[in-house]
Amino acid sequence: MILCFDIGGSAIKIAHAHAVDDIRTTGTRPTPGRDRDAFMAVLKQALQDAPQPPRRVAVSIAGVIDPDTGRAQVANIPCLNERALHAELEGELGLPVDLANDADCFALAEAVTGAGRGHDVVLGLILGTGVGGGLVIRGELINASGGFAGEWGHGPVAQRTLGQPPVSLPVLACGCGQSGCLDTLCGARGMEALHRHLHDNESLDSRAIVEGWQAGNPNAMRTIEIWTELLAGPLSMIQNLIGADVMTVGGGLSNSAPLIAGLDRATRARILRRITRPLIVPAECRIEPGLVGAAILAFRQDQR
C-alpha cells in the first residue's frame, strides 16, 4: 500500500493506494501553512492511522522542486518554502518519498488513466484559480527530477491589444514576480479581473461570467471572446513546439464543456498542423488527479 498526500495551501488530501485503479480517499486535513512541526504532525498522524504499514509515501504538492538545488518553492505554504523538502520528508516519515508538483501529477494521471491514455505526448492544462500545467511524453513526466517545464501560465507573453473591436488590456503584476503573465488574466480570478476591466468595473465571479456567456449576455460574451483569444495564441505556439496528441484541461473552468470546446476551436485554427478532431478536451480523471498521479509515480518507483 502507498500512502498518498495531495498538499495544497488550504487542505491536505489523504488516500491509500493499493493499485493505480484502487485509490481510496480517506479525507482531508487543514494545511498548517506556517508551522512546520504542525505540518509534519499531520503527515505522521496519517501514517499512524494507515490500516497497514505503507511501502512508500507519495506526495503531490502545490509547489516546485528546483532541480539544481533540491529546494522547494511553495509560496502558499511558507513553512516549506526554500527547504530541502524531499530529504526532510524522508527523514521525518522514515519511508521512501516520491514528490512532485500537483500540475505534473494531474498531467500524469490524465496520461495514464484519463483523456490522454494511449497518446504519446500529453499536455495537462490547469485552468483553475490560476493557470498551470504539466507535460508527459511517452508515459513519463518531463519533470521527473523536478523543475518548471509545463508552467505555461507564467512569463510576460499576454497580448495587450486584441479583439474586434480592439481593446487594450492592462499589464498586471503576477504572483511569480513578473508582469503580463497569462495567469493574471486567464485563470478564474484572471477572468474576473478581465471582466472588470472590460465592463466599467462590473464585478462577477467566473462561474457567472461563463453562465452569462452561454445565455447570450453581451458583456459576458465580450469577456469570453477576449479570454479565448488571449489563450489561443500561446496555446497554438505551444502546440507547434511540442506536437501534443491531446491537451487535457482540469481546474474549475474545465467544468464548462462549451468553454473548452470554444478554446479548442480557436487554438486549432491557429496551429500549423490541421487537426479535425478535438485537441483540447476536458479532463477525465475525476478521482483527485493529484493523488492518482502521485500514486502512479510511487508504484513505478516501487517496481524498479
CATH superfamily of 119-282: ATPase, nucleotide binding domain (3.30.420.40)
Contacts of 292 (CB under 8 A, 6+ apart): 20, 23, 105, 109, 112, 113, 285
pLDDT at 18 over 90: yes
pLDDT class of 279 with cuts at 50, 70, 90: very high
- What's the pLDDT at 162? 85
Q: Does the structure show a pLDDT above 80 at 287?
A: no
User: Per residue in 79-133, pLDDT tens?
Assistant: 998 999 999 999 999 999 999 999 999 999 999 999 999 999 999 999 998 899 9
Q: Read off the pLDDT band of 185 (50, 70, 90).
A: very high
Q: Tell me the domain boundaries of the chain.
A: 2-105+287-302, 119-282
Identify the weakest region by mean pLDDT among 97-111, 139-153, 212-226, 262-276: 139-153
Per-residue pLDDT, averaged over 143-161, amounts to 84
**What's residue 157's pLDDT?**
87
Q: Which of 8-12, 54-58, 174-178, 185-189 has the lowest mean pLDDT?
A: 174-178
pLDDT greater than 80 at residue 154? yes
pLDDT at position 76 = 82
Where is pLDDT greater, at 191 or 288? Answer: 191
How confident is the model at residue 111, as a pLDDT?
96
- Give me the percent of the chain exceeding a pLDDT of 90: 76
Confirm whether 2-105+287-302 and 119-282 share one CATH topology.
Answer: yes
- 2-105+287-302: which CATH topology? Nucleotidyltransferase; domain 5 (3.30.420)
Q: How confident is the model at residue 61 (pLDDT cuts 50, 70, 90)?
A: very high
Mean pLDDT, residues 154-179 taken together? 87
What's the chain's average pLDDT? 93
Q: Which residues pair with 202 in a beta bridge?
A: none
Other Cβ atoms within 10 Å of 234 Cβ, number: 20
**Whole-number Å distance between alpha carbons of 269 and 281:** 15
pLDDT of residue 189 exceeding 90: yes
pLDDT above 90 for 175: no
pLDDT at position 146 = 77
